[in-house]
Amino acid sequence: MIRVMVIRQRRKRGTRDAEGAKAAILAAAVREFTDKGLAGARMDEIARGAGVAKGLVFHHFGSKEGLWIAALEHAYALLRAGQDETALDVLGPVEGMRRLAHGTFRLFRAHPEIVALMNEENLHRARHLRAAKAIPLLYNPLFATIERLLAAGRAQNLFREDVDVTALYVAMSGLGYFYCANRWTLSAAFAGDLFRPERIATYEDVLGEMVVAYLRKPAGSL
């Protein structure tokens, strides 16, 4: 009996150690990919950053591309984890949609690694992202919530009828993403430091009001 208990404890500890190593590898990979892109990233550096042997990186993720796909999945999961569908439902249609617009922008600002990985994967025309089957499923709950908010807005005679949810989310997400992805060029070309708090606050207000203004039923319509 004692021996069985010891074996079980070792298995649990070994499982925790493996999970911890895998998490450390993924965190190091996200940093390396963010700094150097897919081509420039080095598995030696990722292993060193994670504090593990290089062979363990291949053991857990199979290849550099396998690790890149895992990093993309992490980035999208991080983005979606910050979009709280329950909170949006409680706020009601207008404030819920405004909060979603604001919150998505804030997530891109808080996690520049998401922007960096998305930029890089677009250079590869989403070849790796298409292999990440779990990512599209992440959006089902969010799109369902947006549908409920739109339905509630229509029921209250606030929102227009002809809203395509996918197009709406692409536009909303793009408004936040573009600001963060292009902050350096926009700042240098004409806008000054776009990450000054007052500039961020102004843009956040503009972004939210643009989304709500689009959704509102035109004046005079039945």
2 vs 112: which has the higher pLDDT: 112
pLDDT digits (tens, 9 = 90+) for 46-90: 999 999 999 999 999 999 999 999 999 999 999 999 998 989 999
Query: What is the pLDDT at residue 17?
Result: 86
CB-based burial, 108-135: b 16+ in 10 Å, e otherwise:
bbebebbbbbbebbeeeeeebbeebeeb
Q: What is the pTM of this model?
A: 0.87
pLDDT digits (tens, 9 = 90+) for 143-185: 999 999 999 999 999 999 999 999 999 999 999 999 999 999 9
Of 52, 106, 115, which is closest to residue 81 (Cα–Cα)?
106
Query: What is the pLDDT at residue 10?
Result: 41
In DSSP terms, 216 is beta-bridged to 159
Side chain identity at 135, as an amino acid letter? I
| pLDDT beyond 80 at 38 | yes
Question: Quick one: pLDDT band at residue 16, thresholds 50, 70, 90?
Answer: low
Architecture of domain 63-222: Orthogonal Bundle (1.10)
pLDDT digits (tens, 9 = 90+) for 115-149: 999 999 999 999 999 999 899 999 999 999 999 99
Question: Quick one: pLDDT band at residue 92, thresholds 50, 70, 90?
Answer: very high
Query: What is the pLDDT at residue 9?
Result: 38
Q: Which two tokens stand for residue 163?
A: 């809203």
Mean local confidence (pLDDT), 1-8? 36
- In Å, what is the CA distance from 32 to each residue of 28, 55, 111, 154? 6, 17, 15, 46
Question: Quick one: pLDDT band at residue 3, thresholds 50, 70, 90?
Answer: very low
Write out the residue limits of the CATH 1.10.357.10 domain(s) in the chain.
Answer: 63-222
Query: What is the pLDDT at residue 7?
Result: 33
| pLDDT beyond 50 at 5 | no
Question: Quick one: pLDDT band at residue 14, thresholds 50, 70, 90?
Answer: low
Write out the residue limits of the CATH 1.10.10.60 domain(s) in the chain.
Answer: 1-62
| pLDDT beyond 80 at 1 | no
What CATH code would you report for 1-62?
A: 1.10.10.60
Mean local confidence (pLDDT), 190-219? 96
| pLDDT beyond 50 at 4 | no
> Rounded CA gap, 96 and 25, in Å?
37
CA neighbours within 13 Å on the CB side: how many for 116?
17
